[in-house]
Chains A and B, each alone.
Chain A
Amino acid sequence: MSKTIEKLKASRYYGLILLCAMLLFFYGIFKILTPSNFGSLSNLYTYLQSSIIYSVGGCGLYFIVVMGLFDFAVGANIVLSSIVGVILAQKYGYAGFIVGCLGCGTLIGFLIGMLYNSLNVPSMIVTVGLMLIFESIAVYVAGGVKQTLPENLRFFSGAPGNIILAGLAFLLMYFILNYTKIGTYCNAIGSNEFVAKNMGIDVKKYKLIGFMLLHFFVGIMAILTVSYGTTMTALTGMSTMSRNFQPLMGTFFGVAFRKYKMPIIAIIVGEFIITIIFNGFVALGAPTTVQNIVTGGALLAIVSLTARGAKGSVVK
């Protein structure tokens, strides 16, 4: 009997039920607290459109987080790739916009991966250093002025464009994880790098691929971000740091639900839950500080419920 329960608890359905329960829980709380200005169908649709932008970044981050790596340059890349994309869009239309964002994003991923592999220092240190450099390059590229996406190039600013693009990104992520060696190898490297090496896996190559994939997805996120906001301003002094965290929250969900073999759904629903919490607080009129405290607390609670190690196990 206990084995059946254990088996059930490890099934995909159980993971799905957990996600839905969490979603309903947070939705229910805010709906009860502020029924008039939170949670209507149109509100939910807006939350979804906002959350899928972060979900795309969350998918990218998944590739390196499962390998035990980290990247602080995601925010800086969103800004730089957006600016490059907008500048090229002004000259070459959609082609320039898409190629600019995706190309710049992936190139940055390549540079980070190469530098990480050659310097052989922790990814956190490499990416903090590069974040400062990319922020400055963005200011230089933007010429110190705010870059605005031309009005005729805003297909991805709302539905259906943003949903189509994000959907394609999720499908790509699903394909890579399930139908290429990359997903398997990223997990293997994260599990035991030494054994992975002994299995003939070129660890450096797959770490480089991981960074490139992350920043390719960041490039997609840049398209969605600048389309949604229509402008992008380059700022220095680590101001892009805050952009790292919301995609990362979704990744935490993805890693936590990896055992249910549904990381992508977990990232999407997880980001949606975080967005619901943010918007719930906005609807309540709570100050930003309180919003952040409760959102951080909710994230810790959710992840500890789903991904907490067994009692006594070592967690780092």
Chain B
Amino acid sequence: MSDKVLLVAEHIDKRFGITHAVNDVSLTINAGEIRALIGENGSGKSTFSQMLCGIYTIGGGTFTLDGKELHCRNQVEANNEGVAIIVQEMGTLSGLTVAENIFLGHEEPFMHMGVKDTRAMNKAAQRLLNEYGFERVKASDMIDLYNFEDRKLVEIVKATYMKPKILVVDETTTALSQNGRYELYKIMDAIRADGRSVIFISHDLGEVLTHTDTISVLRDGEYIATVQTKDMTEDDLKRLMVGREIGTAYYRTDYGETISGEVVVSVKNVNVPGEIHDVSFELHRGEILGFGGLSECGMHEVGKAIFGASWDRTGSVTLADGTQINDIPTAIKHSIAYASKNRDVESIIINESIRNNIVLPSLDDLADHGLLNNKKLTAFADKYAAEMQTKMQNVNQFVSDLSGGNKQKVVLARWIGKGSDILVLDSPTRGIDVKVKQAIYGLMADLRKQGKSIIMISEEIPELLGMADRILVMKDGRINGEFLRDPNLSEEDLIAKMV
């Protein structure tokens, strides 16, 4: 890392209505530095970086890059100034070829008198893909032919080929498999070696400690501190992020409890073409059953299969009373809840109020002779939003205004309100800060004590080890290993069955 200051952010400020998302943040980043930006959900780190990249307008203050003040109105202008971003969600566009996606907004080198040289564009894109080691992706193919991870790799090429002075990586790694992550880390290291810089946003404190030089912490929109990574531990970072000690009961501490013999769900020979093969297991009363594996091992489809949301499924999902679960209404009617990994698309109605999201599956229960009472609905939503300690103005606030952690609280409030006995939680703490994580783990432990059964699907091994009574590890769509809760069980034991 050199002593040369590359980026200066002075008094950066942003408000969304009454929410002060970024409050007078000032920091500097040196050339050849990988700077982590961490904080709880809603701490302002994404808003800060999106102002830098032209996605949001700057509310106040200035960004100065290499001595030049930035006034970017969109990502292309930011790219031209030497700033690029890789976002968490899908950043490529369907209906376009790989090459068109890579050069979208930057077609000028291929335009001659208004005519686009498609062949040259494809050739240039393919050359870039080959340089990055992604030869399997063909520049002239429609992007729709590729899966989420390959599309993310295309996005990495798109964001970095023009050699930005600053690259923002905004919670991208959660979308990548281990291999994809290695590719991204390599690119980040190459940028650092080249004397350029990276702003790395992640909730995974382990990777923050491993792959960054310095760490800046934001809390409630305010700048807290910048520290040297080598001097920090995960606990130090948690303390800085939350502003207090995180209790020791982060995960469950009990071991040796016997699992109830009462089977609540029996899954037999479940197949989903191309996803899972011949999966059988039983879920017991009061059990937290963990599912782990690499991101495309099929575990996410297991959650859908149990909830009746998996199409083309064969095999059976049977409840203790013999009810077969083949569709979502039957699942909900029989007290099964499901929180998807893809929260914003599959779990939450983003442009609706917190109230309407919470009451949605409970409308029949709340209706009097088929008629709904507004006061009753609001009281119901108030009760469960408060029980989940959702950070909000009131239940009429739109979910789109909430941070990731609070959106997840709304999803859980919905199912707690419904009184579900079997909860299928896919990646329940994905993209969520430590404080909300702690709350969710606490809730899961309470639900377990109440005799509720939970299937927790997770890509985070410590979470599986810390919370599950039993862990099923999946590989290539099949169950490849089973582990009982044990303090001596290690990450390596699970990984050995995953890969």
Chain B minimum-CB-distance residue to A187: B95
Interface residues of chain A: helix, strand, loop or mixed (majority): helix
- Knowing A180-B116, A187-B95, A195-B91, the reply to whether A312 touches B104 (Cβ < 8 A) is no
- Could you say which residues of chain A place their CB within 8 Å of the CB of B105? 199-201
Instruction: Kindly identify which residue among A181, A195, A199 contacts B116, using a CB–CB cutoff of 8 Å.
Output: A181
List residues of B (72-115) whose CB comes within 8 Å of A's CBs: 74-77, 91, 93-97, 100, 104-105, 107, 111, 114-115
- Knowing A10-B142, A10-B145, the reply to whether A178 touches B94 (Cβ < 8 A) is no
- Knowing A10-B142, A191-B93, A195-B91, the reply to whether A178 touches B118 (Cβ < 8 A) is yes
- Knowing A179-B115, A258-B95, A261-B142, the reply to whether A184 touches B75 (Cβ < 8 A) is no
Whether B142 and A195, one on each chain, are in contact in the complex, defined by CB atoms closer than 8 angstroms, is no
List residues of A (184-211) whose CB comes within 8 Å of B's CBs: 184, 187-188, 190-192, 195-201
- Knowing A180-B114, A181-B111, A311-B312, the reply to whether A199 touches B75 (Cβ < 8 A) is yes
Whether B142 and A199, one on each chain, are in contact in the complex, defined by CB atoms closer than 8 angstroms, is no
Instruction: Kindly identify which residue among B55, B107, B114, B311 contacts A312, using a CB–CB cutoff of 8 Å.
Output: B311
Residues 293-313 of chain A, each 1 if its beta carbon lies under 8 Å from chain B, else 0: 000000000000000001110
Q: Is A88 an interface residue (CB 8 A)?
A: no
Q: CA A311 – CA B273 in complex, angstroms?
A: 12
What is the distance, in angstroms, from B138's C-beta to the closest C-beta of chain A?
Answer: 10
- Could you say which residues of chain A place their CB within 8 Å of the CB of B75? 198-200
List residues of A (151-204) whose CB comes within 8 Å of B's CBs: 175, 178-181, 184, 187-188, 190-192, 195-201
Q: Is B386 an interface residue (CB 8 A)?
A: no
Whether B100 and A184, one on each chain, are in contact in the complex, defined by CB atoms closer than 8 angstroms, is yes
What is the distance, in angstroms, from B313's C-beta to the closest C-beta of chain A?
Answer: 10
Instruction: Kindly identify which residue among B93, B114, B312 contacts A188, using a CB–CB cutoff of 8 Å.
Output: B93
What is the distance, in angstroms, from A120's C-beta to the closest C-beta of chain B?
Answer: 17
Q: CA A92 – CA B311 in complex, angstroms?
A: 63
- Could you say which residues of chain A place their CB within 8 Å of the CB of B76? 198-200
Q: CA A199 – CA B107 in complex, angstroms?
A: 11
Which of B96, B107, B145, B312 gathers most chain A CB within 10 Å? B96
- Knowing A184-B104, A199-B74, A200-B105, the reply to whether A311 touches B93 (Cβ < 8 A) is no
Q: CA A181 – CA B121 in complex, angstroms?
A: 12
Chain A minimum-CB-distance residue to B140: A261
Q: Is A259 an interface residue (CB 8 A)?
A: yes
Chain B minimum-CB-distance residue to A7: B145
- Could you say which residues of chain B place their CB within 8 Å of the CB of A184? 96, 100, 104, 107, 116
Q: Is A224 an interface residue (CB 8 A)?
A: no
Whether A191 and B116, one on each chain, are in contact in the complex, defined by CB atoms closer than 8 angstroms, is no
Chain B minimum-CB-distance residue to A185: B104
Q: Is B54 an interface residue (CB 8 A)?
A: yes
- Could you say which residues of chain B place their CB within 8 Å of the CB of A310? 311
Q: CA A195 – CA B92 in complex, angstroms?
A: 8
List residues of A (210-267) whose CB comes within 8 Å of B's CBs: 258-259, 261
What is the distance, in angstroms, from B58's C-beta to the closest C-beta of chain A?
Answer: 15
- Could you say which residues of chain B place their CB within 8 Å of the CB of A197? 74
Q: Is A66 an interface residue (CB 8 A)?
A: yes
Chain A minimum-CB-distance residue to B54: A198
Q: CA A84 – CA B212 in complex, angstroms?
A: 68
- Could you say which residues of chain B place their CB within 8 Å of the CB of A200? 74-77, 105
What is the distance, in angstroms, from B155's C-beta to the closest C-beta of chain A?
Answer: 11
Residues 26-70 of chain A, each 1 if its beta carbon lies under 8 Å from chain B, else 0: 000000000000000000000000000000000000000010000
Q: CA A199 – CA B84 in complex, angstroms?
A: 11
- Could you say which residues of chain B place their CB within 8 Å of the CB of A198? 54-55, 74-76
Chain B minimum-CB-distance residue to A195: B93
Q: CA A179 – CA B112 in complex, angstroms?
A: 10
Q: Is B309 an interface residue (CB 8 A)?
A: yes
Q: CA A250 – CA B141 in complex, angstroms?
A: 24
Q: CA A192 – CA B143 in complex, angstroms?
A: 14
Whether A259 and B142, one on each chain, are in contact in the complex, defined by CB atoms closer than 8 angstroms, is yes
- Could you say which residues of chain B place their CB within 8 Å of the CB of A196? 93
Q: Is B207 an interface residue (CB 8 A)?
A: no
- Could you say which residues of chain B place their CB within 8 Å of the CB of A195? 91, 93
- Could you say which residues of chain B place their CB within 8 Å of the CB of A258? 95
Whether A191 and B311, one on each chain, are in contact in the complex, defined by CB atoms closer than 8 angstroms, is no
What is the distance, in angstroms, from A34's C-beta to the closest C-beta of chain B?
Answer: 40
Q: Is B446 an interface residue (CB 8 A)?
A: no
Chain B minimum-CB-distance residue to A202: B74
What is the distance, in angstroms, from B497's C-beta to the closest C-beta of chain A?
Answer: 25
Identify 28 residue pairs between A and B in the complex whose beta-carbon atoms are under 8 Å apart, listed by A's number.
A10-B142, A10-B145, A178-B116, A178-B118, A179-B117, A179-B118, A180-B114, A180-B116, A181-B107, A181-B111, A184-B96, A184-B107, A184-B116, A188-B95, A188-B96, A188-B100, A188-B104, A191-B93, A192-B93, A195-B91, A195-B93, A198-B54, A198-B74, A198-B75, A199-B75, A259-B142, A259-B144, A311-B311
Query: Which A-B residue pairs are the 4 nearest by beta carbons?
Result: A200-B76, A199-B105, A191-B93, A311-B311
